[in-house]
Amino acid sequence: MNTTVLAQGGVEGSDPILNITIFGLFVVFTLGIVIYVSRRATSSASDFYTAGGGFSGPQNGVAISGDYLSAASFLGIAGAIALNGYDGFLYSIGFLVAWLVALLLVAELLRNTGKYTMGDVLAFRMRQRPVRAAAATSTLAVSFFYLLAQMAGAGGLVALLLNVTDGFGQSIVIAIVGAVMIAYVLIGGMRGTTWVQIIKAVLLIAGAGIMTIWVLALYGFNFSAVLADAVRAGGETGEALLNPGKQYGKSALTQIDFLSLGLALVLGTAGLPHILMRFYTVPTAKEARRSVVWAIWLIGLFYVFTLVLGYGAGALVGPEAIRAAPGGANSAAPLLAYELGGTVLLGIIAAVAFATILAVVAGLTITASASFAHDIYANVIKKGELSDPNEEVKVARITAVVIGVVAIFGGILANGQNIAFLVALAFAVAASANLPTILYSLFWKRFNTSGALWSIYGGLGVTVILIVFSPVVSGKPVDAVTGKSASMLQGVDFHWFPLDNPGIVSIPLSFLLGYLGTVLSKEKPNADKVSEMAVRSLTGVGVEKSVAH
């Protein structure tokens, strides 16, 4: 999930001092936890990347939900439901259904065949260096796009919840978020990062749950009454909140675009590198499966909460007040918090929103650093021959610092712009480049190195090209109210691809490229390795059980 850029200005009733204080307490508490758990060794690659496989399925499931649910799940989806009703809730459906793909096709098989990264799975029966380089390229691309959106979104959240409206102040906060993120990764590795994600998930789900019960209590726990009040507050278009089509039923093109977005959301989750890496933090494939089941329940519960919060905001705050507030739709949940519990509840919700960013960016950073150190440095550059067993971890730590610094500067540069395309790009690349390659590797015996390279590089290239030449970058009409175009670049138009989301084209094309690259190649797969991978992926035979150190 992503954090969208919010408009300048603060939410009415917000107390910046209280918000910063609560957020500061969260940072101090979680850093204390990270320092405490780091007393257990984090010098080995297994400890730093996967916490030695020492987390149980339920623990990892909570951490996955913390890694997956970001501020946009709270602010963005609640706002979308408040303003667009049924169509807004379709985002929740897409994000939740995606986990069935991860559960049924990826989680257990990936845990049985890999070690730390996606590159491990591909390199099991293919030529190591080219497929690891390709897997790392895709991983770094997805992580960077996602990370940049999160960091830039931090600036927007500052504007919305702390009333820091000047660019310099927002840049300072982005730098602080980046510095704390780097500290989490360097001090605690995957173990520390996982506990941050667990704490954040508990706070986010608990906060949303409390607000949900509060809203329902005001209406005698009658959700139909909430819907009726939301329809009444919506005025002439209120009835449309209960039916599909309010946001995406305007034309055939918008409907196709939403279908394209839905494909990317449903298929992209199972290819997100920071989600895939979480499957290795448990000792067995069975625990990986359990962790996904836990994640499905927790994420599903959270999205049920957003349904009540969205319609509750529409009923109690009103769509006009939400649209007029700083941040527009993204201010629905904070405004509802203020309506329910005043400044204190708003301060708690503001802190939870910031906590989501910290947890997500920490997970992205450790994934990107692990991919570079393990796939590129250790296996491509050093060809698997490291003089010092701790050398790989040292490179990963250095990489984490570099990625953190780049993310800070990138977030500052992107702050205030429409960077929603970065999120669409991350999910589209994951669905187009990563997932086809993973599925082919696991289920198609003939699949070879050439097919993997065609699928990864082709899917990545096609997705980037279609996004660059889509309306999200240039060409959208100027809004009469704001005087700005919704496109990233103002005053230019070089788009030729009509859809905002390329998934409906890039995903099938990537599967096709993987097929063509395989059948047109004369390379014959290693039959012994193919058989070994098939047995190992389905049964776990031959897999060394990871244990906590």
Tokens found for residue 455: 């699928």
- Name which residue leads in pLDDT, 458 or 423: 458
Q: Residue 74 pLDDT > 80, yes or no? A: no
Please give the average per-residue pLDDT across 448-458, as a whole number: 94
In angstroms, the CA 312 to CA 318 distance is 9
pTM of the model: 0.87
Q: How confident is the model at residue 218 (pLDDT cuts 50, 70, 90)?
A: very high
Which tens digit of pLDDT belongs to each residue from 12-44? 666 778 878 888 888 888 889 888 888 765 667
Select from 225, 208, 379, 442 the least CA-distant residue to 309: 208
Give the number of residues written for the chain: 549
Give percent of the chain with pLDDT exceeding 70: 92
At residue 391, φ and ψ (nearest 5 deg) are -60, -40
At residue 485, φ and ψ (nearest 5 deg) are -85, 150
Q: How confident is the model at residue 384 (pLDDT cuts 50, 70, 90)?
A: confident
- Name which residue leads in pLDDT, 459 or 390: 459
Please give the average per-residue pLDDT across 187-198, as a whole number: 89
Tokens found for residue 106: 């990826």
Q: How confident is the model at residue 4 (pLDDT cuts 50, 70, 90)?
A: very low
Q: How confident is the model at residue 461 (pLDDT cuts 50, 70, 90)?
A: very high
* Contact status, residue 4 vs residue 336, Cβ threshold 8 Å: no
Helix (H, G, I), strand (E, B) or coil at 243: coil
What are the residues whose beta carbons fall under 8 Å from the beta carbon of 127, sequence distance 6 or more? 449
Tokens found for residue 46: 């297994």
Q: Residue 112 has what pLDDT?
A: 87
Q: Residue 416 has what pLDDT?
A: 64
Instruction: Kindly report the average pLDDT of the chain as a whole number.
Output: 85
Select from 363, 360, 368, 364 the least CA-distant residue to 140: 368
Instruction: Name the burial class of residue 223, with classes exposed (0-12), middle (13-18) and buried (19+) by CB atoms within 10 angstroms of its CB.
Output: middle
| Longest CA–CA separation in the chain, Å | 71
* Contact status, residue 331 vs residue 325, Cβ threshold 8 Å: yes
Q: How confident is the model at residue 488 (pLDDT cuts 50, 70, 90)?
A: confident
Q: Residue 145 pLDDT > 80, yes or no? A: yes
In angstroms, the CA 286 to CA 111 distance is 9
Q: How confident is the model at residue 9 (pLDDT cuts 50, 70, 90)?
A: very low
* Contact status, residue 337 vs residue 79, Cβ threshold 8 Å: no
Q: Residue 217 has what pLDDT?
A: 95
Tokens found for residue 86: 């049924």
Give percent of the chain with pLDDT exceeding 90: 31
* Contact status, residue 515 vs residue 508, Cβ threshold 8 Å: no
Please give the average per-residue pLDDT across 500-529, as a whole number: 92
In angstroms, the CA 117 to CA 99 distance is 19
In angstroms, the CA 514 to CA 497 distance is 23
In angstroms, the CA 79 to CA 76 distance is 5
Q: Residue 418 has what pLDDT?
A: 57
Which tens digit of pLDDT belongs to each residue from 323-379? 887 667 778 888 899 899 888 888 888 788 878 888 888 888 999 999 999 999 988
Q: Residue 545 pLDDT > 50, yes or no? A: no
- In the chain, what is the straight-line distance between the N-terminal and C-terminal CA atoms, in Å? 32
Q: Residue 190 pLDDT > 80, yes or no? A: yes
